[in-house]
Amino acid sequence: MIFSGSMCAVVTPFRGGELDEAAFARLIEYQITNGTTGIIPCGTTGESATLSHEEHERVIELAVKVSAGRVPVIAGTGSNSTREAIRLTKAARDSGADAALLITPYYNKPTQDGLFAHYSAVADAVDIPQVLYNVPARTGVNITPATVARLAEHPNIAAIKEAGGSMDYVSQLRLLSDLPILSGNDNLTLPLIALGAVGAISVLANVAPSYCSRMFDAAVSGDWELARELHYETFPLVDLLFCETNPIPVKAALAMMGLIDGEIRLPMTPLSEGNAPRLKKELERLGLMQAGSN
Protein backbone atom coordinates (compact mmCIF):
# COMPACT_ATOMS: atom_id res chain seq x y z
CA MET A 1 0.00 0.00 0.00
CA ILE A 2 1.45 3.38 -1.02
CA PHE A 3 -0.52 5.35 1.59
CA SER A 4 1.13 4.37 4.85
CA GLY A 5 3.57 5.62 7.44
CA SER A 6 4.95 9.11 7.88
CA MET A 7 4.82 11.03 4.61
CA CYS A 8 6.03 14.59 4.09
CA ALA A 9 4.12 17.53 2.63
CA VAL A 10 7.37 18.99 1.34
CA VAL A 11 7.99 22.72 0.98
CA THR A 12 8.92 24.32 -2.33
CA PRO A 13 12.26 26.14 -1.94
CA PHE A 14 12.82 29.35 -3.89
CA ARG A 15 15.90 31.45 -4.58
CA GLY A 16 15.69 34.77 -6.37
CA GLY A 17 12.05 34.18 -7.16
CA GLU A 18 12.70 30.88 -8.93
CA LEU A 19 12.45 27.23 -7.93
CA ASP A 20 15.66 26.15 -6.16
CA GLU A 21 16.05 22.71 -7.69
CA ALA A 22 19.24 21.80 -5.82
CA ALA A 23 17.63 22.60 -2.46
CA PHE A 24 14.53 20.65 -3.39
CA ALA A 25 16.66 17.60 -4.16
CA ARG A 26 18.41 17.99 -0.78
CA LEU A 27 15.07 18.08 1.00
CA ILE A 28 13.92 14.85 -0.62
CA GLU A 29 17.18 13.08 0.21
CA TYR A 30 16.89 14.29 3.81
CA GLN A 31 13.39 12.83 3.96
CA ILE A 32 14.22 9.44 2.49
CA THR A 33 17.38 9.07 4.61
CA ASN A 34 15.33 9.69 7.76
CA GLY A 35 12.52 7.21 7.19
CA THR A 36 9.83 9.21 5.39
CA THR A 37 7.62 6.84 3.41
CA GLY A 38 6.19 9.23 0.82
CA ILE A 39 6.81 12.64 -0.76
CA ILE A 40 3.92 15.04 -1.34
CA PRO A 41 4.94 17.98 -3.57
CA CYS A 42 2.69 20.92 -4.46
CA GLY A 43 0.41 20.78 -1.45
CA THR A 44 -0.53 23.66 0.83
CA THR A 45 2.90 23.47 2.47
CA GLY A 46 4.45 23.55 -1.01
CA GLU A 47 2.80 26.91 -1.75
CA SER A 48 0.90 25.41 -4.66
CA ALA A 49 -1.41 28.42 -4.79
CA THR A 50 1.47 30.65 -5.93
CA LEU A 51 3.10 28.26 -8.39
CA SER A 52 2.62 28.75 -12.12
CA HIS A 53 1.41 25.69 -13.99
CA GLU A 54 4.90 25.28 -15.43
CA GLU A 55 6.47 25.42 -11.97
CA HIS A 56 3.84 23.06 -10.58
CA GLU A 57 4.63 20.45 -13.21
CA ARG A 58 8.39 20.91 -12.80
CA VAL A 59 8.23 20.41 -9.03
CA ILE A 60 6.38 17.13 -9.52
CA GLU A 61 8.81 16.00 -12.22
CA LEU A 62 11.72 16.72 -9.88
CA ALA A 63 10.09 14.89 -6.98
CA VAL A 64 9.63 11.81 -9.17
CA LYS A 65 13.17 12.02 -10.55
CA VAL A 66 14.92 12.50 -7.19
CA SER A 67 12.78 9.94 -5.36
CA ALA A 68 13.63 7.47 -8.13
CA GLY A 69 11.09 4.91 -6.98
CA ARG A 70 12.47 4.70 -3.44
CA VAL A 71 9.27 6.15 -1.99
CA PRO A 72 5.93 7.02 -3.61
CA VAL A 73 5.26 10.53 -4.88
CA ILE A 74 1.72 11.77 -4.19
CA ALA A 75 1.36 14.98 -6.16
CA GLY A 76 -0.89 17.82 -5.11
CA THR A 77 -3.14 18.49 -8.10
CA GLY A 78 -6.27 20.03 -6.61
CA SER A 79 -7.98 23.20 -7.77
CA ASN A 80 -11.26 25.05 -7.36
CA SER A 81 -11.71 24.54 -11.10
CA THR A 82 -12.59 20.96 -12.00
CA ARG A 83 -11.11 21.30 -15.46
CA GLU A 84 -7.86 22.61 -14.02
CA ALA A 85 -7.74 19.79 -11.46
CA ILE A 86 -8.14 17.27 -14.26
CA ARG A 87 -5.35 18.91 -16.28
CA LEU A 88 -2.96 19.01 -13.31
CA THR A 89 -3.78 15.42 -12.36
CA LYS A 90 -3.14 14.22 -15.91
CA ALA A 91 0.19 16.05 -15.95
CA ALA A 92 1.18 14.46 -12.63
CA ARG A 93 0.29 11.00 -13.91
CA ASP A 94 2.28 11.60 -17.09
CA SER A 95 5.27 12.74 -15.01
CA GLY A 96 5.29 9.42 -13.18
CA ALA A 97 3.61 10.37 -9.90
CA ASP A 98 2.23 7.40 -8.01
CA ALA A 99 -0.94 9.16 -6.86
CA ALA A 100 -2.61 12.56 -6.64
CA LEU A 101 -3.80 14.62 -3.68
CA LEU A 102 -6.86 16.76 -4.40
CA ILE A 103 -7.98 19.48 -2.01
CA THR A 104 -11.69 20.27 -1.81
CA PRO A 105 -12.51 23.18 -4.14
CA TYR A 106 -11.87 26.41 -2.28
CA TYR A 107 -13.70 29.76 -2.54
CA ASN A 108 -16.54 28.31 -4.67
CA LYS A 109 -18.07 26.61 -1.59
CA PRO A 110 -19.78 23.79 -3.53
CA THR A 111 -22.57 21.70 -2.07
CA GLN A 112 -22.04 18.06 -1.16
CA ASP A 113 -23.47 17.13 -4.57
CA GLY A 114 -20.98 19.53 -6.14
CA LEU A 115 -18.09 17.95 -4.23
CA PHE A 116 -19.23 14.50 -5.30
CA ALA A 117 -19.48 15.60 -8.93
CA HIS A 118 -16.09 17.34 -8.83
CA TYR A 119 -14.18 14.39 -7.42
CA SER A 120 -16.05 11.93 -9.61
CA ALA A 121 -15.15 13.93 -12.72
CA VAL A 122 -11.44 13.90 -11.88
CA ALA A 123 -11.50 10.22 -10.95
CA ASP A 124 -13.32 9.36 -14.19
CA ALA A 125 -10.89 11.40 -16.29
CA VAL A 126 -7.54 10.27 -14.85
CA ASP A 127 -6.62 6.67 -14.07
CA ILE A 128 -4.36 7.23 -11.07
CA PRO A 129 -4.98 6.64 -7.34
CA GLN A 130 -6.47 9.80 -5.85
CA VAL A 131 -6.54 11.09 -2.28
CA LEU A 132 -9.38 13.32 -1.12
CA TYR A 133 -8.13 16.22 0.99
CA ASN A 134 -10.46 17.70 3.60
CA VAL A 135 -9.21 20.91 5.23
CA PRO A 136 -12.21 23.17 5.87
CA ALA A 137 -10.16 25.82 7.69
CA ARG A 138 -8.38 26.51 4.38
CA THR A 139 -11.20 25.97 1.89
CA GLY A 140 -14.40 27.01 3.65
CA VAL A 141 -16.10 23.71 2.85
CA ASN A 142 -16.26 20.38 4.66
CA ILE A 143 -16.73 17.12 2.78
CA THR A 144 -19.05 15.02 4.92
CA PRO A 145 -18.37 11.40 5.86
CA ALA A 146 -21.44 10.40 3.84
CA THR A 147 -20.04 12.05 0.70
CA VAL A 148 -16.65 10.46 1.29
CA ALA A 149 -18.33 7.07 1.59
CA ARG A 150 -20.08 7.61 -1.76
CA LEU A 151 -16.81 8.59 -3.42
CA ALA A 152 -14.97 5.63 -1.89
CA GLU A 153 -16.91 3.37 -4.23
CA HIS A 154 -14.97 4.80 -7.19
CA PRO A 155 -11.96 2.57 -8.02
CA ASN A 156 -9.64 5.59 -8.39
CA ILE A 157 -10.52 7.14 -5.02
CA ALA A 158 -7.89 5.51 -2.82
CA ALA A 159 -7.67 7.43 0.49
CA ILE A 160 -8.57 10.62 2.34
CA LYS A 161 -6.29 13.14 4.03
CA GLU A 162 -8.31 14.41 6.97
CA ALA A 163 -7.26 17.79 8.35
CA GLY A 164 -10.52 18.97 9.86
CA GLY A 165 -9.36 18.34 13.40
CA SER A 166 -12.37 16.30 14.54
CA MET A 167 -12.11 12.91 16.17
CA ASP A 168 -15.86 12.50 15.72
CA TYR A 169 -15.47 13.02 11.96
CA VAL A 170 -12.89 10.23 11.73
CA SER A 171 -15.04 7.87 13.78
CA GLN A 172 -18.12 8.62 11.67
CA LEU A 173 -16.10 8.10 8.50
CA ARG A 174 -14.76 4.77 9.69
CA LEU A 175 -18.30 3.58 10.50
CA LEU A 176 -19.40 4.38 6.93
CA SER A 177 -16.35 3.33 4.89
CA ASP A 178 -13.08 1.44 4.99
CA LEU A 179 -11.35 4.09 2.84
CA PRO A 180 -7.78 4.51 4.16
CA ILE A 181 -7.45 7.59 6.38
CA LEU A 182 -4.34 9.78 6.47
CA SER A 183 -3.77 12.28 9.26
CA GLY A 184 -3.40 15.84 8.02
CA ASN A 185 -2.68 17.45 11.40
CA ASP A 186 0.60 16.72 13.17
CA ASN A 187 -0.89 17.36 16.61
CA LEU A 188 -3.53 14.68 15.99
CA THR A 189 -1.55 11.98 14.18
CA LEU A 190 -1.13 9.78 17.25
CA PRO A 191 -4.83 9.75 18.23
CA LEU A 192 -5.82 9.24 14.60
CA ILE A 193 -3.62 6.15 14.43
CA ALA A 194 -5.58 4.82 17.41
CA LEU A 195 -8.77 5.41 15.40
CA GLY A 196 -7.40 3.54 12.40
CA ALA A 197 -5.38 6.04 10.33
CA VAL A 198 -2.80 4.21 8.21
CA GLY A 199 -0.58 7.18 7.39
CA ALA A 200 0.15 10.84 7.95
CA ILE A 201 0.89 13.68 5.56
CA SER A 202 3.06 15.80 7.80
CA VAL A 203 4.38 19.35 7.98
CA LEU A 204 6.56 18.45 10.97
CA ALA A 205 8.32 15.80 8.89
CA ASN A 206 9.97 18.56 6.85
CA VAL A 207 12.23 19.35 9.82
CA ALA A 208 11.97 16.25 12.02
CA PRO A 209 11.42 13.27 9.70
CA SER A 210 13.14 10.75 11.96
CA TYR A 211 10.97 11.69 14.94
CA CYS A 212 7.84 11.38 12.79
CA SER A 213 8.73 8.04 11.24
CA ARG A 214 9.75 6.55 14.59
CA MET A 215 6.56 7.74 16.26
CA PHE A 216 4.42 6.25 13.52
CA ASP A 217 6.28 2.95 13.50
CA ALA A 218 6.08 2.68 17.29
CA ALA A 219 2.33 3.29 17.31
CA VAL A 220 1.44 0.83 14.57
CA SER A 221 3.64 -1.84 16.19
CA GLY A 222 1.84 -1.37 19.50
CA ASP A 223 4.63 0.40 21.40
CA TRP A 224 2.34 3.17 22.62
CA GLU A 225 4.71 4.23 25.38
CA LEU A 226 7.43 5.13 22.88
CA ALA A 227 4.89 6.65 20.50
CA ARG A 228 3.57 8.92 23.25
CA GLU A 229 7.10 9.86 24.28
CA LEU A 230 7.94 10.96 20.73
CA HIS A 231 4.60 12.75 20.36
CA TYR A 232 5.20 14.82 23.48
CA GLU A 233 8.86 15.38 22.61
CA THR A 234 7.92 17.08 19.34
CA PHE A 235 4.64 18.67 20.40
CA PRO A 236 6.20 22.07 21.29
CA LEU A 237 7.81 22.20 17.84
CA VAL A 238 4.48 21.35 16.19
CA ASP A 239 2.93 24.25 18.05
CA LEU A 240 5.65 26.60 16.83
CA LEU A 241 5.36 25.39 13.22
CA PHE A 242 1.82 26.74 13.26
CA CYS A 243 2.43 29.94 15.25
CA GLU A 244 1.98 31.74 11.92
CA THR A 245 0.31 30.58 8.73
CA ASN A 246 1.83 27.41 7.25
CA PRO A 247 4.36 27.29 5.56
CA ILE A 248 5.89 30.46 7.02
CA PRO A 249 7.39 28.82 10.15
CA VAL A 250 8.46 25.57 8.52
CA LYS A 251 10.36 27.38 5.77
CA ALA A 252 12.03 29.54 8.42
CA ALA A 253 12.99 26.40 10.34
CA LEU A 254 14.48 24.74 7.27
CA ALA A 255 16.50 27.88 6.57
CA MET A 256 17.81 27.86 10.15
CA MET A 257 18.82 24.23 9.59
CA GLY A 258 20.74 25.15 6.44
CA LEU A 259 18.57 23.13 4.09
CA ILE A 260 16.96 25.93 2.07
CA ASP A 261 17.25 29.67 1.51
CA GLY A 262 13.96 30.35 3.29
CA GLU A 263 12.46 32.57 0.62
CA ILE A 264 8.66 32.65 0.67
CA ARG A 265 6.22 34.09 -1.87
CA LEU A 266 3.74 36.85 -1.33
CA PRO A 267 1.16 37.09 0.06
CA MET A 268 3.06 35.03 2.64
CA THR A 269 5.71 37.02 4.51
CA PRO A 270 8.79 35.94 6.53
CA LEU A 271 8.47 34.71 10.09
CA SER A 272 8.16 37.54 12.60
CA GLU A 273 11.18 38.54 14.66
CA GLY A 274 9.34 37.62 17.85
CA ASN A 275 8.76 33.99 16.83
CA ALA A 276 12.11 33.27 15.20
CA PRO A 277 14.17 32.88 18.42
CA ARG A 278 11.56 30.58 19.94
CA LEU A 279 11.61 28.36 16.86
CA LYS A 280 15.41 28.24 16.75
CA LYS A 281 15.59 27.30 20.42
CA GLU A 282 13.24 24.37 19.89
CA LEU A 283 15.19 23.13 16.88
CA GLU A 284 18.35 23.25 18.98
CA ARG A 285 16.67 21.34 21.81
CA LEU A 286 15.76 18.53 19.43
CA GLY A 287 19.22 18.43 17.85
CA LEU A 288 17.97 19.43 14.40
CA MET A 289 20.15 22.44 13.63
CA GLN A 290 22.92 20.40 11.98
CA ALA A 291 20.69 18.67 9.43
CA GLY A 292 22.00 20.76 6.57
CA SER A 293 25.54 19.56 7.12
CA ASN A 294 24.66 15.85 7.17
Q: In this structure, are residues 45 and 24 in contact, taking their beta carbons and an 8 Å threshold?
A: no
Range list of H helices, the chain: 21-33, 53-67, 82-95, 112-125, 136-139, 145-151, 167-176, 189-194, 209-220, 224-241, 248-256, 276-285
How far apart (Å, rounded) are the C-alpha atoms in residues 159 and 200?
11
Q: Which residues pair with 15 in a beta bridge?
A: 18
Please state, for a pLDDT cut of 70, what percent of the chain lies above it: 99
Other CB atoms within a 10 A radius of the CB of residue 117 amount to 12
Task: Give the Å distances, CA to CA, from 164 to 78, 84, 177, 285.
Answer: 17, 24, 17, 30
Nearest to 201 by CA among 92, 43, 59: 43
Among the listed residues 65, 107, 119, 133, the single catalytic one is 133
Active site residue 119: no
Q: In this structure, are residues 133 and 78 in contact, taking their beta carbons and an 8 Å threshold?
A: yes
For residue 291, name the pLDDT band (cuts at 50, 70, 90): confident
What are the phi and psi torsion angles at 98 (to 5°)? Answer: -80, -25
Q: Give per-residue pLDDT as tens, 232-286.
A: 999 999 999 999 999 999 999 999 999 999 999 999 999 999 999 999 999 999 9
Among the listed residues 119, 161, 169, 211, the single catalytic one is 161
CATH architecture of 5-220: Alpha-Beta Barrel (3.20)
Residue 294 pLDDT > 50: no
Q: In this structure, are residues 177 and 188 in contact, taking their beta carbons and an 8 Å threshold?
A: no
Question: What pLDDT, on the 0 to 100 scale, is given for residue 1?
Answer: 74
Question: What pLDDT, on the 0 to 100 scale, is given for residue 84?
Answer: 97
Q: Give per-residue pLDDT as tens, 187-237.
A: 999 999 999 999 999 999 999 999 999 999 999 999 999 999 999 999 999
Active site residue 133: yes
